[in-house]
């Protein structure tokens, strides 16, 4: 696991002592170090872990103009005995390369990605908040670095990993607006890539949804405004009758690792799971006949987010979210596996040695 030479320069001024783990503002607190490696057109070079610092970027940096920029989001947690652990890290390594391929960017060797993530977690292990539900959020990203104006794939790329402690996340139930005018992803587009531009494109419709009193947009397909895709940074699940249903990954939705994990857990628990097209009409009809039992989102950040209502064509479909059973059961199971309380019969949890990075 330490095949690649990675130079390590440790900080002499850790900011860890200034952080209150019982009150961490989300997305604003960064750990001490970052991993950086550069692609020179042929290979990845000068891999290095060093104190977190600003980058110096030319104004003609290709990524800023034409959008070759992709990322991942994963979490390190501590097992009951204090051992740092990652959840299915190899899935994130594969997915960033799937995103890279679609955006015509350099791919990063999976073993380099995994070694860098593991070394960062090992080095920053004191930054993993101990409370259950807390985590060290890990943000790998890659972007073009050619200094060139003109639409073409970059030759040069930078890959970075930095990390952020996040507090126990108690997600509030979310309200969704099913969106018929704006779209997130079309067939053949880049919806399946974790590409920066996808999130920029979602901001304006999300702002309009907020003005109407909804938390987030429920995206529908681009052809017929009919089939449900996903939400912001979460995949979506419905419990209708005795079935757990989630949209198929048809290239327009992100292949969530939480989604995949929940499907596997649900199947093993004996639930009927269907990955298929599901239309907004089917959901509305199921609400009206009383068979729509639960709606929840699934993603690394909140694991499972309960949906309290769905707005569609001027009408609100309110859900009995305080009496959900399957969503909370799946959440307890996945969190149990991640914390070591429930046996990891899937081999999903990767323990990290605390001393991967020498002094």
Ligand X SMILES: *Cc1c(COP(=O)(O)O)cnc(C)c1O
- What are the residues binding ligand X (CB under 6 A)? 73, 194, 230, 233-235, 254, 256-259, 299-300
User: In the complex with ligand X, which residue's Cβ is closer, 49 or 254?
Assistant: 254
User: 67, 196 in Cβ contact below 8 A?
Assistant: yes
Residue 74, token pair as written in the block: 């994963």
Residue 321, token pair as written in the block: 């979210």
Q: Minimum distance between the CB of residue 70 and ligand X, rounded to whole angstroms?
A: 11
User: In the complex with ligand X, which residue's Cβ is closer, 6 or 298?
Assistant: 298
What are the beta bridge partners of residue 330? none
Q: What are phi and psi of 6, to 5 degrees?
A: -125, 115
Q: Minimum distance between the CB of residue 256 and ligand X, rounded to whole angstroms?
A: 3
If we measure between CA atoms, which residue out of 142, 123, 137, 118 comes closest to residue 28? 137
Residue-wise DSSP of 166-180: E----PPPEEEEEES
User: In the complex with ligand X, which residue's Cβ is closer, 26 or 242?
Assistant: 26
Q: Minimum distance between the CB of residue 122 and ligand X, rounded to whole angstroms?
A: 22
Q: Minimum distance between the CB of residue 53 and ligand X, rounded to whole angstroms?
A: 26
Tokens 């920053």 appear where? 124
Q: Minimum distance between the CB of residue 100 and ligand X, rounded to whole angstroms?
A: 15
User: In the complex with ligand X, which residue's Cβ is closer, 61 or 300?
Assistant: 300
Residue 187 C-beta-side C-alpha neighbours within 13 Å: 8
User: 299, 332 in Cβ contact below 8 A?
Assistant: no
User: In the complex with ligand X, which residue's Cβ is closer, 233 or 246?
Assistant: 233
């Amino acid at each position: 696991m330490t095949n690649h030479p990675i130079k390590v320069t440790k900080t002499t001024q850790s900011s860890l002592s200034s952080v209150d783990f019982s009150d961490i503002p989300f997305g604003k607190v960064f750990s001490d170090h970052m991993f950086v490696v550069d692609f020179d057109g042929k290979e990845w070079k000068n891999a290095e872990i060093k104190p977190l610092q600003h980058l110096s970027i030319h104004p003609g940096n290709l990524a800023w103009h034409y959008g070759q920029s992709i990322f991942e989001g994963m979490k390190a947690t501590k097992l009951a005995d204090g051992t740092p652990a990652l959840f299915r890290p190899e899935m994130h390594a594969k997915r960033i390369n799937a995103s890279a391929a679609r955006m015509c960017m350099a791919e990063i060797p999976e073993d380099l990605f995994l070694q860098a993530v593991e070394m960062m977690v090992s080095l920053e292990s004191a930054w993993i908040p101990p409370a259950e539900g807390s985590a060290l959020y890990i943000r790998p990203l890659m972007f073009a670095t050619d200094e060139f104006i003109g639409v073409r794939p970059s030759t040069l790329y930078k890959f970075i990993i930095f990390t952020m402690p996040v507090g126990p996340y108690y997600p509030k139930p979310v309200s969704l607006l099913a969106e018929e005018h704006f779209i997130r992803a079309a067939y053949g587009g880049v919806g399946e890539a974790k590409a920066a531009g996808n999130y920029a494109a979602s901001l304006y419709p999300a702002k309009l949804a907020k003005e109407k009193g909804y938390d987030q947009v429920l995206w529908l397909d681009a052809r017929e405004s009919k089939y449900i895709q996903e939400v912001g940074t979460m995949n979506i699940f419905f419990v209708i009758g005795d079935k757990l249903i989630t949209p198929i990954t048809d290239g327009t939705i992100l292949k969530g690792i939480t989604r995949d994990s929940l499907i596997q857990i649900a199947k093993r628990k004996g639930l009927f799971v269907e990955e298929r097209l599901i239309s907004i009409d089917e959901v509305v009809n199921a609400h009206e006949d009383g068979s729509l039992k639960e709606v929840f989102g699934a993603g690394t950040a909140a694991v499972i987010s309960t949906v309290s209502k769905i707005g569609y064509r001027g009408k609100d479909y309110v859900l009995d979210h305080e009496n959900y059973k399957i969503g909370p059961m799946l959440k307890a199971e996945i969190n149990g596996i991640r914390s070591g309380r429930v046996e990891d019969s899937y081999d999903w949890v990767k323990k990290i040695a605390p001393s991967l990075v020498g002094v």
